[in-house]
Chain A
Amino acid sequence: MPLAFDLQSVTVTEFGVGRDEEEEQSFTLVPVDTSVQTALGEMARDTWSAMEELDEAPPEYEPSEKHASSEYLVVPFASGLATALRQLHQAENLPLSAAALSDPRDVFCYFTRMTDGAGRRLTAVRRATQFKGVLQSRGLMRFIDDALQIIEESVLRLDSDFDLLVDSDTVHILRPSGFEFVGQLQDAVLAAAPTNVKAVRKDLHFVDFTAIEGYATKHPRAARYLASIVAQNATKDISKSALKAQCKRTGVDVGESKGKITVDEGQVMGFLQVVDRRRYHLELVKGTPESFVAGSRRKLGS
C-alpha cells in the first residue's frame, strides 16, 4: 500500500507532544531546531521501511484481534476507529509552547507533522515511553575527556521509529498497541457500541440486541467484537437458522422470543464471537466434538 506523502521532499517538520491534563488530553507544538527535524525525518523513513518489509498488502486492523507487537496494519482514514488520530492530523494552527515539556511526566505521546513539496501532510505518532523513562533513569552517560560521566541535565530521548503514520487516506500502523493507546481505542469502541449495535441490527433484524447493547457499552472486549463485526461488513445475508445452528454447535445458549433470537448477558461474548467468525466447532476425532475460540484468525482464500 503506497504512502500518500513524499518522504524525500519534506518542506516543513513540526514537533509536538500530547499531554494528559486534568480533564482531557491536549496536543501542543514545541519548537525544534534542524538537528531534531532531521532525526524526526529519519524516524519517519525508518518506520515506513519497517512497514514495507513486514507486509506489502497489509490487512485491516480489527479491534477484536490479538495482534503481534509489530505488525503492519491499516485503518481507513474515515473509520470511526481513527477518530482521535484524524482529529490530530486535521487540526490547524496547533497551539505552540516551549513550556509544554516543563513536566515530561504528563507527556503520553510525541508526534511530528510534516508537509511535503505537494502540500500533503503526514502525521507520525509515538507513545512516550523512552521519552519519559530516560528522564527517570540515572544511567545516561557521555564521554568527556576520555571518561564516562553521568549527564546531569534533563534529557529527552527520541525512539528509533514511530508507532504509526497518518496520511490523507490511511492510518498505517506499525505497533497496534501504540495505535490503541494513542488512538484512545478503548474509549472509542465503548462510545461507538450503541452505533455499532444499530449498524448490525439492520442486517440481523431477527436478533434482540437489548442485552447485547447493555453489555457492550460496559465491557470493552464485547465492544471490540462489535466494532470488529461492523468493520468486516459481513453480517448481510446471515441466516437466522445458520446462526442458531452455529451457536448451538459451539455451546452458546440462545433463546427465541416473538420470532427473535434472545441472548442472555452471560452468553453475549459467545454470541458476538460467533458473529465475529472466531468461535469454531471441529470433530476431527469421530464422536469427540470440540469448540474453540480464536484469539487471532485470518480468512483463507479469496
Chain B
Amino acid sequence: MSPLFLLWAIRGSSFVPDKYLLTVCAVMLVLPNLFLGLRIRAAIGANDKREIAVAVAEDHRDHLLVYLFSMLLPFYAAELRNERDVAAVLVALAFIVFLFWHLNLHYMNVLFAAMGYRVFSVSPPPASNALSGRSGLVVITRRPVLVSGERLIAYRLSDTVYFER
C-alpha cells in the first residue's frame, strides 16, 4: 500500500489539509515497511529458519498486476473533495485490505519486487506422509525458479510467509 500513499501525498487534496494528509501518508508509508524490516531483522536475529520442501511452486509476479489494478489505479483516480469522498475511500481501502489479507496476498510488497525478489506459492508434497503439512506456504526469494523436490532454508516472517536471503 505504500506506493498508493506516496502518490496521494504527491497529489494532495483540496479537502484534506496538507499537514494532515502528508502526516498520514508518511506514517502509512513508513510504518508497514518499518514493521516488515524489523520482523525480518528479528527472524534473522533469532535464527528463526525452517527447511521447506517444494512440491509445486507458482511464481506470482502476476499478483503485482492484481495489486496495480485493484488498488493503485482506482484509488489514485479517486477525488477527495468532501467528507463523503474521504469516508468512501477509507471504507473501500479497509475492504481491499481485508480482501488482501483474506486471500493471503498481504505479502505483496513493491520494495521486494524492486530488490529482485520473487514471490512463490509453494504447495505441500503429496499426501504420502500423514504428518506432512497440508497448507501452502509463500516463499519470497531471489531464485528465478523453484524446482519440484528442491529444499530451501528460509526465515519465518509469519506462519505461512517465508523469506530467503
What residues of chain A have their CB less than 8 Å away from a CB belonging to chain B? Answer: 11-14, 26-27, 29, 31, 33-34, 37, 87-88, 90-97, 113, 115, 119, 121
Contact = CB atoms under 8 A, between A and B. Distances in A.
Main secondary structure of the interface of B (DSSP, over half): loop
Nearest to B124: A93
Given A33-B46, A93-B133, 9 more contacts: A29-B50, A34-B46, A87-B129, A90-B129, A91-B132, A91-B133, A93-B124, A95-B134, A115-B153
B125 A93 contact: yes
25 contacts: A11-B49, A11-B153, A12-B49, A12-B153, A13-B47, A14-B50, A14-B51, A29-B50, A33-B46, A87-B129, A88-B131, A90-B129, A91-B131, A92-B53, A92-B129, A93-B52, A93-B124, A93-B125, A93-B133, A95-B134, A95-B135, A96-B133, A115-B153, A119-B151, A121-B51
B85 interface: no
B51 A115 contact: yes
B147 to A, nearest CB: 15
A92 B133 contact: yes
Given A12-B153, A31-B156, A33-B46, A93 B131 contact: no
Contact of A94 (B46, B132, B153): B132
A31 B159 CA distance: 9
B146 interface: no
Interface string B87-125: 000000000000000000000000000000000001011
B47 A37 contact: yes
Contact of A33 (B48, B55, B135, B151): B48
Contacts of B137: 93
Contacts of A115: 51, 153
B124 to A, nearest CB: 5
A96 B159 contact: yes
Interface of B: 45-53, 55, 122, 124-125, 129-135, 137, 151, 153, 156, 159
A27 B133 CA distance: 10
Given A14-B51, A33-B46, A34-B47, A87 B130 contact: yes
Given A12-B153, A92-B125, A97-B159, A87 B131 contact: yes
Among the interface residues A13, A26, A96, which one has the most CB atoms of the partner chain B within 10 A? A96
A274 to B, nearest CB: 38
Nearest to A33: B46
The 8 closest A-B pairs by CB, nearest first: A91-B131, A92-B53, A93-B133, A33-B46, A92-B132, A91-B132, A92-B125, A95-B133
A298 B47 CA distance: 46
Nearest to A91: B131
A34 B46 CA distance: 5
A11 B151 CA distance: 13
Nearest to A119: B151
Contacts of B122: 93
Contacts of A12: 49-51, 153
Nearest to A90: B129
A97 B134 CA distance: 14
